[in-house]
Structure 1
Amino acid sequence: MGDDEFFSVTSGDVDEALSRGLLVPERRDELEAFLRARSKEREATSGSTFSVLAYYLGTLVVLAALSWFVADAWESMGGWGLASVAAVYGGLFVLAGRRFYGREETRVLGGLLFSLALCLTPLFAYGVQKATGLWTGTPPGEYDSFLHWVRSGWCVMELSTIAVALAVIRGVRFSFLAAPLSLALWYLTMDLSSLLKRDHRMTSLLFGLALMALAFLWDLRRKREDPEYGFWLHLVGAVAFWGGLSLLDGRTELRRFLYGSINLGLIALSAALDRSIYLILGGLGFFGYLGHLAWSVFEDVLYFPLVLVLFGLAVMACGLWYHRRRKALSLWIEGHLPPFLLRLREVRGDSAWK
């Protein structure tokens, strides 16, 4: 039976177990009350899954409309027009967020509404800067380039987003708020590298390492009732580190070998911390390294495709072996990990979306 397999138990089943001597008669009513309570919890959880997915899908649609797909028609409104639109929408999201966040059953919806208001901060700052002409460095161009290009003119937008995010997090304990905060920090370091004439690839790599370290520190200090900010810190930190690493100059085979080895290290880190983001990125990077070997180094070697086939089958066999022995392996890993890594595994919760 799987760890999370669902099955129903009725009052008749409890009475049957009691008649067979499997239960202590004095604890019969207590057991039935416990089972009823757990059944209600499962129903509430299963029923809320669709709602949470709908909340996040709606949030992405709104973000796309108000942040990512701001086109020429919006630019024609002028700077103050853009700032006014951002302020009105942001204010409405805050008012709605305060209404829903205070209720336990709609807390996720309220938190996402606050997040939407936060994500409008760069648009508001952009509008003010466009109207006043006050830019850091050269004017960066239209707003729809904000997520695409590293430019020094975006810095004020990112600084304002960070400031607003820190203010919101003080009053709203919602894990997703760490996502726009982390992204704003990442973009700020990249755009500062442009302002200071530094290599943005190395800047991204170093920032990713720093954010991953911050995520580890948060995990070590986090209590069970705290929001799961670590999920988003690990996500953005890992992407920033891996993205910078993948864009670095790899013209020598030694550098490419180191790249593949670091990606294998990310896969091992995923197993130690039980964080799938490191497995995904490490797998992509290592697969890219194998592709380089196949298409460049061993392009004319007849047996190399066979070696890759055998390697792939071996990986699949390892996956099957792990699936069958995952409990024993998990216990073995936990028995050999240092205390701080055990702590990092223990605090990883399922509240990343709440």
Structure 2
Amino acid sequence: MKVDKEDFSWAATVGLISPEQAEALWQALSNRASDRPQFNLANVAYYFGALIVISAMGWFMTLGWESFGGGGIFLIASIYALCFVLIGKNLWFEQNLKVPGGLLFTMAVCMTPLAIYGLQRWTGVWPQGDPGSYRNYHIWVKGSWFLMEVGTILASSVALKFVQFPFLTAPIAFSLWYMSMDLTPLLFGQTDFTWQQRLLVSITKICGSFNELKIAVKFY
């Protein structure tokens, strides 16, 4: 059954509710409907644009990190993340534009592995030796990516605490997936490992993720 404003006006006319109550109810329902996620062209464009920005920033830094150096990468990624957060805060909290605001927070979180990579490149601190360029992060299984994944999960968790936007779980999901592979060389203390060892770590991580999900659902 669909209800429109004329139905509330009719209820006020026959004396079921007052005109003030009819207007208040209509405004409350309108605001509630506007907060619900909608699959429309505008939202598709928002998500598509966010994915382009996330991909472009990663590709840009992949090609140019040698010229910027570790400190430059860390500084640039941090500045971009801060700008995304400030604009996202304005859209989410002040203008009530949840989708673009939430996507900007997600974009800020996605700058975390790049910022941590720059910091590690700058300081030379790697859990298991220099893993190479940032391009390798999405290609090779290496224990030195571990801190980047932990940092991304923490950043996304903090963002979710203040902004309940479902897409913020995407960086957590990808980081947990990467971590299930990158933990293998750290746990076994070697760069060469068998598929059986990798399978053992992945299964253990999946079981742990289910427990984390139960805790998160209970907490929220």
Match of 2:16 among 9, 23, 27: 27
Structure 1 counterpart of 2:141: 150
Q: Letter of the aligned partner of 2:54 in structure 1?
A: L
- For residue 132 of structure 1, the aligned residue among 119, 123, 142 is 123
Kept after mapping to 2: 8 A contact 1:69/1:144? no
Q: Does 1:205 align with 2:203?
A: yes
Corresponding residue for 1:96? 87
**Distance in 1 between residues matched to 2:36 and 2:138, nearest whole Å:** 35
Cα drift, residue 102 of structure 1: 0.9
Matched, 1:215 2:208: no
SS at match of 1:173: coil
SS class of match (1:134): coil
- In the alignment, which residue of structure 2 is the partner of 1:78? 69
Q: Work out whether residues 75 and 82 of structure 1, in 8 Å CA contact, stay in contact via their aligned partners in 2.
A: no
Q: Which runs of 5+ in 1 are unaligned?
A: 1-5, 19-24, 227-354
Q: Does 1:141 align with 2:141?
A: no
Shift of 1:95: 1.4
Shift of the 157–38 alpha-carbon distance from structure 1 to 2, 3 Å rule, reads: closer
Higher RCO, Cα 8 Å, sep 6+: 2
Q: How does 1:234-313 map to 2 (within 5 A)?
A: none
Structure whose alpha-carbon radius of gyration is higher = 1
Q: 1:194 aligns with which of 176, 185, 201?
A: 185
Q: Secondary structure at the match of 1:146?
A: helix
What is the alpha-carbon distance in structure 1 between the residues aligned to residue 160 and residue 58 of structure 2? 21
Q: Secondary structure at the match of 1:27?
A: coil
Equivalent residue letter for 2:119: V
Name which of structure 1's ranges 210-219 and 54-63 shifts more when overlaid on structure 2.
210-219
Could you tell me how far apart the structure 1 residues matched to 2:34 and 2:160 are? 27
Alpha-carbon distance change, 67 to 33 in structure 1, aligned in 2, over 3 angstroms:
same
Q: Which position in structure 1 is the counterpart of 2:168?
A: 177
- Candidates 98, 102, 108, aligned match of 1:111: 102
Aligned mates of 2:117, 2:28 — CA distance in 1: 50
TM-score by length of 1: 0.49
Amino acid at match of 2:141: V
Q: Provide the C-alpha distance between the structure 1 equivalents of 2:146 and 2:37, rounded to a whole number of angstroms.
A: 42
1:48-67 correspondence to structure 2 within 5 Å: 49-50=39-40, 51-67=42-58
Change in CA separation of 1:128 and 1:36 when aligned onto 2, cut-off 3 Å: closer
Residues 90 and 42 of structure 1, relative CA distance in 2, 3 Å threshold = closer
Name the count of aligned residue pairs: 208
Contact preservation (8 Å) 2:61, 2:73:
no
TM-score by length of 2: 0.74
Q: CA RMSD in A?
A: 3.6
Q: Counterparts of 2:147 and 2:32 in 1: how far apart (Å)? A: 46
Q: Shift of the alpha carbon at 1:69? A: 6.2
CA distance in 2, matches of 1:157, 1:67: 14
- Secondary structure of 2:164's counterpart equals coil
- In 2: Cα distance, 1:45 partner to 1:162 partner: 26
- Alignment partner, residue 78 of structure 2: 87
Paired residues of 1:93 and 1:113 also in contact (CA < 8 A): yes
Shift in Å, 1:58: 1.6
